[in-house]
Structure 1
Amino acid sequence: MGRKFDLPNSSAVKSILITGGAGFVGSALALQFKQAYPDCHIIAFDNLKRRGSELNLPRLREAGIEFVHGDIRTKEDFAVLPAVEAVIEASAEPSVLAGLTSAPDYLINTNLGGTVNCLNYARQHDAAFVFLSTSRIYPINQIDRIQLEEAETRFEVSAEQPFGGISPKGLAEEFPLEGYRSLYGATKLCSEYLIQEYHHFYNMRTVINRCGVLTGPWQMGKVDQGVIVLWVARHFWQQQLGYFGFGGTGKQVRDILHVDDLFDLVNYQLQNLAQVNGKTLNVGGGYDISVSLQELTAICQRVTGNVVPIVSQAENRQADIALYLTDNTRVTELTGWSPKRSVEQIVTDVYHWLRENETQLKPILG
């Protein structure tokens, strides 16, 4: 696995509830925890709304993970759950476009109301609470103020900036929060504020991870969420792609994080709760594991052996940004964690997953 810190094969946490447990991130964490700690009772709680999540149910069952079909929007669904020692809140409506092209009710009720139900359940059982937030809590209007330079294949952050919280390493936790960020980002930021209140007034043990682009095998990628898997899949099945916005050159940049690297961190956090209690941390691939669409295309061509047609549209799309990079300085200094899996490895892992599961994945991703 190449973990930075190997922990003894006995968990301080004997039971974990993972919300969104049949989704991409939730199921990946559940399976990794069960592999690392076979005696840990893990419950995957999910409403199975996202297409493709049903494919994870046999994987969870075979690993000995309990699946409970429920919805975090419905507090009564928590009543059937036993007490656990830790909650990993990995459920969300993760689309940046959600609520912009349709009614916002499901988004708000899931990402905000659902978090309240999860917090109350955790408080009832005195469980630790690990919240997977998002880099999208940082405002679009502030990100648009970042001074960029245009290099041959990507945009870069300039050394001189008009405000704090941004450097060539990326966005730090001190980045300005005033402005608009998408309804998805707003609901996650509101949830962060509530978690901080529960931490302070109810003495709950909490940690907030502001995750950048998470990816890896078993992600059902779409244009607005899961773009790395989408890009590899389109190359695998030789289908058209597009560079949209920012001149249509594909120079927009994201740092990306393999879900296994996220597991390494969450595992460490649950083993060292006192160290991370009450903290809010940026968590992403960082500059070293970042990629532009143009660079991603070249890697996909190399890994898959396929070249696909790419259309170009110069006009920007709603809620899109030219660059996001995670400054991991705080989380690395606090825990010693840093991501290990490169962009090339991530693309290769996704490619092999597509090859091995082509029949069942093509109706969803093809």
Structure 2
Amino acid sequence: MKLLITGGAGFVGSALAISLKTNYPDYQVFALDNLKRRGSELNISRLKQAGVEFIHGDIRNKEDFDAFPPVDAVIEASAEPSVLAGLDGTPDYLINTNLVGTVNCLNYALKHKADFIFLSTSRVYPIKTIETLNFVEEETRFALSDEQPVPGASSKGIAEDFPLNGARSLYGTTKLASELIIQEYNEFYNLRTVINRCGVITGPWQMGKVDQGVMVLWIAKHYFEQQLGYFGYGGTGKQIRDMLHVADLYRLIDWQLHHIDKVNGEILNAGGGLESSASLQELTKICQEVTGKTIPIKVVPENRTADIRLYVTDNTKVTALTGWKPEIGIRQIVEEITAWLAENEEALAPILK
């Protein structure tokens, strides 16, 4: 099998590329990336070492695709992933990467009759609707109630039939627009596709920032003994997310790659679920225990732009269709990222400190 992974030097793309090449040595795996995000350059040597072929190019440029070899499947893992992208000025780069870039990838896949696996986001679900959900305030976290004002929400989390009307961030909108176009290619061009709406993905080699990669950011701030803050929702740190280890995501993508007919045309939520969820307050406690360090955390009661109180993925559909469910919990994620920071401190300090 020949595979093209876009965003292939990014956190998710490189993890998928290296795992696929390691588990299927006879596969030819190409990793395409424009190296815009700081830290992605550190993955080039890792890709090469694994036997992955790196291509320096940009999905925004359809001319770049003319030079690519034919492949059997495309894994579209490229994105400008910041939920705040485009809000401080022009959204051109965001739209050209996350929407126009996806169209270029689709046309390339169509040309070679390649299967198409798309990594979308839970951010396609509208902010205001999520903020109206019924919740209970527990000792260390907010939790969803079973009784909800809209379909697709329960104490298990958010499901695929959650309403899509409303604003969701420019990032979420570009991904949702891509989803709609992918469905058209699936229906009218008979391109085999699957869309994965991923929750918070994390793990070693993620270059975490405030607006994307919060898990690594939180652990790194503890490791390097710097300050953090509980922002919004009264400054209690009770807002909650579920965390999906990139190795768990790999197992799902691997299954889809080899059973595409069973998920062809599907849209699937994929996240850590309730079992692998944590509030900032709970995450802080685990970071203190694992790193052995306690850092100052300031309290800022005011909410931040595009933030949400809670998001947990309901994996019911994807588990029923594929048998997949995440296996790696919060503590193991913190332990792995802490070990990675210790092992690569010199290279990572300028980026994460």
Q: Which amino acid aligns with 2:217?
A: L
Partner of 1:151: 138
Q: What is the CA–CA distance in structure 2 between the aligned matches of 1:178 and 1:62, rounded to whole Å?
A: 45
Deviation string for 1:260-305 (max 9, x for gaps)? 0000000000111110100000000001100000000000000000
Partner of 1:220: 207
1:363 aligns with 2:344: no
SS at match of 1:301: helix
Q: Which of the residues 305, 326, 333 maps onto 1:318?
A: 305
Note the C-alpha offset of 1:24: 0.1
Q: Which of the residues 59, 76, 92 maps onto 1:105?
A: 92
Q: Which of the residues 258, 261, 275 maps onto 1:271?
A: 258
Q: What is the CA–CA distance in structure 1 between the aligned matches of 2:295 and 2:206, rounded to whole Å?
A: 21
Deviation string for 1:97-116 (max 9, x for gaps)? 00001310000000000000
Q: What is the CA–CA distance in structure 1 between the aligned matches of 2:42 and 2:308, rounded to whole Å?
A: 32
Q: What is the CA–CA distance in structure 2 between the aligned matches of 1:257 and 1:157, rounded to whole Å?
A: 19
Q: Which of the residues 54, 61, 70 maps onto 2:41?
A: 54
Deviation string for 1:68-108 (max 9, x for gaps)? 00000000011110000000000000000000013100000
What percent of counterpart residues are identical? 66
SS at match of 1:80: coil
Which consecutive aligned stretches of 4+ in structure 1 deviate over 2 angstroms post-superposition? none
Q: Which of the residues 171, 180, 183 maps onto 1:196?
A: 183
Partner of 1:165: 152
1:171-320 to 2 correspondences below 5 Å: 171-320=158-307
TM-score, scaled relative to structure 2: 1.00
Partner of 1:87: 74
Gaps of 5+ in 2: none
Partner of 1:11: none
Q: Which amino acid aligns with 2:77?
A: A
Q: What is the CA–CA distance in structure 1 between the aligned matches of 2:42 and 2:104, rounded to whole Å?
A: 26
Q: Which of the residues 128, 144, 147 maps onto 2:115?
A: 128
Q: Which of the residues 30, 49, 54 maps onto 1:43?
A: 30
SS at match of 1:16: strand
SS at match of 1:113: helix
Q: What is the CA–CA distance in structure 2 between the aligned matches of 1:160 and 1:47, rounded to whole Å?
A: 45
Q: What is the CA–CA distance in structure 2 between the aligned matches of 1:163 and 1:97, rounded to whole Å?
A: 26
Deviates more, 1:343-352 or 1:157-166: 157-166
Deviation string for 1:5-28 (max 9, x for gaps)? xxxxxxxxx110000000000000
SS at match of 1:312: strand
Partner of 1:4: none
SS at match of 2:98: helix
Note the C-alpha offset of 1:145: 1.1
Q: What is the CA–CA distance in structure 2 between the aligned matches of 1:102 and 1:312, rounded to whole Å?
A: 28
Gaps of 5+ in 1: 1-13
Deviation string for 1:42-92 (max 9, x for gaps)? 000000000000000000011111000000000001111000000000000
Q: What is the CA–CA distance in structure 1 between the aligned matches of 2:201 and 2:50, rounded to whole Å?
A: 23
SS at match of 1:348: helix
Note the C-alpha offset of 1:214: 0.1
